[in-house]
């Protein structure tokens, strides 16, 4: 009888350890999915003006529609947004997200869960502090050059950035990471425009203008298709 009781206790202990292990794994999985707390969302919404709440609700409706359509592109430009709904993190197929010319002062951490995202346009907003998690995304961070968008990236031009300073952001993700880590960053030697001859400058500016025209038309086509 004692032997049987010992076996029962041992079996129960092993079973308990197994359950604890599974719960631990589940918690680690949940930790990898970043989210904004309900309290933070409620606090942000409570501080909105009526116009800001209208913009927020409109963006939320557009996000829900994009989720239903499994959209790859979403245009939330010029809505007057002061906060981006955290539901944006549910759009797992999203490749391009347009948020420029709003009144955003911060970004929800849920954006970092968009693993398919290739282009994030957040220029001309009111962001002063860049979140450190943005350097973990699989995109270059670009200050931008007017309306010129070359390749994939996170475009930040026109934000009153203080942390990191604009001069650091202009140097790209490597410099930004070094700033957050408190490390010195040395800019690699490159050929600069001031070394060009007048004829090379003319050719360079002409090529830049042509590229800009083509890419702006491509962006317009993407928006029309969506």
Checking if the pLDDT of 3 tops 90, the result is no
Determine the average pLDDT of the residues in 119-142: 95
pLDDT digits over 60-75, tens only? 999 999 999 999 999 9
Domain boundaries, given as residue ranges, for the chain? 47-188, 193-226
Decide which of 23 and 6 is more confident: 6
Chosen CATH of 47-188 out of 3.20.20.140, 3.40.50.10490, 2.30.29.30, 3.80.10.10: 3.80.10.10
- Give the per-residue pLDDT at 216: 59
- Provide the mean pLDDT of the chain: 80
Which range has the worst mean pLDDT, 4-8, 94-98, 108-112, 136-140?
A: 4-8
- Give the per-residue pLDDT at 205: 66
- Give the per-residue pLDDT at 97: 96
* Confidence bin at 42 (pLDDT 50/70/90): confident
The residue with tokens 């500016």 is 205
Checking if the pLDDT of 182 tops 70, the result is yes
- Give the per-residue pLDDT at 41: 87
Decide which of 157 and 208 is more confident: 157
Q: Are 103 and 53 in contact (CB under 8 A)?
A: no
- Give the per-residue pLDDT at 38: 81
Which range has the worst mean pLDDT, 11-25, 102-116, 142-156, 180-194?
A: 11-25
- Give the per-residue pLDDT at 14: 45
- Give the per-residue pLDDT at 35: 77
């Amino acid at each position: 009888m004692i032997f049987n009781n010992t076996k029962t206790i041992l079996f129960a202990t092993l079973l308990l350890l197994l359950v604890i292990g599974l719960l631990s794994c589940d918690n680690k999985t949940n930790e990898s999915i970043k989210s904004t707390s309900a309290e933070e969302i409620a606090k942000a919404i409570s501080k909105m003006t009526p116009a800001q709440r209208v913009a927020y609700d409109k963006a939320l409706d557009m996000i829900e529609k994009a989720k239903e359509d499994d959209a790859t592109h979403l245009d939330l430009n010029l809505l007057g947004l002061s906060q981006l709904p955290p539901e944006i993190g549910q759009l797992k197929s999203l490749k391009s997200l347009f948020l420029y010319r709003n009144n955003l002062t911060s970004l929800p951490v849920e954006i970092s869960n968009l693993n398919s995202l290739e282009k994030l346009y957040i220029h001309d907003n009111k962001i002063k502090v860049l979140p450190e998690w943005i350097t973990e995304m699989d995109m270059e961070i670009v200050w931008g050059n007017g309306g010129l968008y070359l390749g994939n990236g996170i475009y930040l031009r026109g934000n009153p950035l203080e942390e990191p300073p604009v001069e650091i952001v202009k140097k790209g993700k490597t410099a930004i990471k070094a700033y957050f880590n408190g490390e010195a960053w040395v800019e690699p030697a490159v050929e600069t425009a001031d070394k060009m001859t007048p004829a090379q400058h003319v050719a360079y500016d002409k090529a830049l203008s042509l590229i800009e025209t083509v890419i702006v038309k491509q962006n317009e086509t993407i928006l029309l298709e969506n």
